[in-house]
């Protein structure tokens, strides 16, 4: 696989959110505003690249039996580093993402990429895979958050659009809106791509 292909794979063909349906918790929880969605996406991307690179470097040293435990330690370290950096340099973002920053540790996308890609591929490719998957995740979060912020708060990136004229439907920003918007998007993608959902 070539570099561009690896990135394209993460962005579209195997998009972690819309196609693989991984990492649903942050996808639903932080997509209440574009700022949060983008911040979460980029933080996860940074963790994904770092963990993929380190795991790829160590892939021959880590014994098979303890690989999951080792991956978890490496991922948790990367997440804690990002958390410290965010707290120090972007305290406002750190605050609004709150507990969902440490919870990046248990974002299935990261462990899944470690297990299925980084543990079998050289460093360069693993870094690209991390970047592709991370951007795919970020893109998905941005799409969902733009929709939810627009309909639910009447703003985009915090800029008031129509709130003075029509009252925004705040349910879109609340929990039910998260589920329904994501369901509609995935259904729409299935319809466009022509992929038939699970048989009954």
Partner 1 sequence: MIKEIISILIAALLTENFVMVKFYGICPFLGVSKKVETAVGMGMAVTFVMAIASMFTWLVNHFLLERFGLEYLQTIAFILIIAGLVQFVEMFVKKSLPALYNALGIYLPLITTNCAVLGVTLLNVQNGYGFIMSFLYGTFAALGFTLAIVLMAGIREFLDENSVVRSFRGFPIALITAGLMAVAFMGFSGFSI
Partner 2 sequence: MKNAKEIIRVGLILFVITALSALLLAFVNKKTAPLIEENNRIKTENSMRTVLSDAESFEKLDFEGEGVVEAYAAKSGSDIVGVCVVTEANGYGGAIRVVTGVSADNKVTGIDILSHSETPGLGANATGDSFKSQYAGKAAGIGVSKGTAKDNEINAMSGATITSKAVTAAVNTALEAAGEILKEAK
Q: Which residues bind partner 1 (CB under 8 A)?
A: 21-25, 27-29, 68-69, 72-73, 76-77, 79-80, 83-84, 99, 102-103, 105-108, 111, 171, 174-180, 182-184, 186-188, 190-191, 195-200
The interface partner of residue 170, options being partner 1, partner 2, none and the CB cut-off 5 to 8 Å by kind, is: partner 2
- In terms of C-beta density within 10 A (0-12 exposed, 13-18 middle, 19 or more buried), how is residue 158 classed? exposed
Q: Residue 63 and residue 59: Cα distance in Å, rounded?
A: 8
The DSSP annotation for 32-60 comes to: TSHHHHHHHHHHHHHHHHHHHHHHHHTTT
CB of 2 to partner 1, least distance (A): 31
CB of 108 to partner 2, least distance (A): 21
Q: Residue 136 and residue 11: Cα distance in Å, rounded?
A: 4
Which residue in the set 12, 73, 188, 191 belongs to the binding site for partner 2 (CB under 8 A)? Answer: 73
CB of 44 to partner 1, least distance (A): 13
Instruction: List, in sequence order, every residue forming a beta bridge with 156; answer none if it has no partner.
Output: 159
Give the total residue count for the chain. Answer: 200
**106 in contact with partner 2 (CB under 8 A):** no
Residue 36, Cβ neighbours under 10 Å: how many? 21
Angle separating helix axes 34-57 and 67-89, nearest 10 degrees: 140
Instruction: List, in sequence order, every residue forming a beta bridge with 46; answer none if it has no partner.
Output: none
* Closer residue to partner 1 (CB): 68 or 90: 68
User: Segment contacting partner 2 (CB under 8 A): 7-15, 70-78, 133-141, 179-187?
Assistant: 70-78
CB of 70 to partner 1, least distance (A): 11
Q: Which residues of 76-89 are buried (b: 16+ CB within 10 A; e: fewer)?
A: bebbeebbeebeee
* Closer residue to partner 2 (CB): 7 or 72: 72
Q: Which residues bind partner 2 (CB under 8 A)?
A: 32-33, 35-36, 58, 61-63, 65-66, 69-70, 73-74, 76-77, 80-81, 84-85, 87-89, 91, 95-99, 149, 152-155, 158, 168, 170, 173-174
């Amino acid at each position: 696989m070539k570099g561009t292909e690896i990135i394209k794979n993460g962005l579209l063909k195997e998009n972690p959110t819309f196609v693989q349906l991984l990492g649903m918790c942050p996808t639903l929880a932080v997509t209440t505003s574009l700022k949060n969605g983008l911040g979460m996406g980029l933080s996860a991307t940074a963790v994904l690249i770092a963990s993929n690179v380190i795991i790829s470097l160590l892939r021959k040293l880590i014994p098979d039996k303890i690989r999951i435990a080792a991956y978890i330690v490496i991922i948790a370290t990367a997440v804690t580093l990002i958390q410290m950096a965010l707290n120090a340099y972007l305290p406002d973002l750190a605050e609004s993402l709150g507990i969902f920053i440490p919870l990046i540790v248990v974002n299935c996308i990261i462990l899944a990429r470690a297990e299925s890609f980084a543990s079998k591929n050289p460093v360069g490719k693993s870094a690209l895979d991390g970047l592709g998957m991370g951007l795919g995740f970020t893109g998905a979060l941005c799409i969902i958050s733009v929709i939810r912020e627009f309909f639910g708060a009447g703003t985009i990136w915090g800029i008031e659009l129509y709130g003075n004229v029509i009252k925004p439907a705040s349910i879109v920003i609340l929990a039910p809106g998260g589920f329904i918007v994501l369901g509609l998007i995935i259904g729409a993608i299935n319809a466009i791509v022509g992929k038939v959902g699970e048989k009954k």
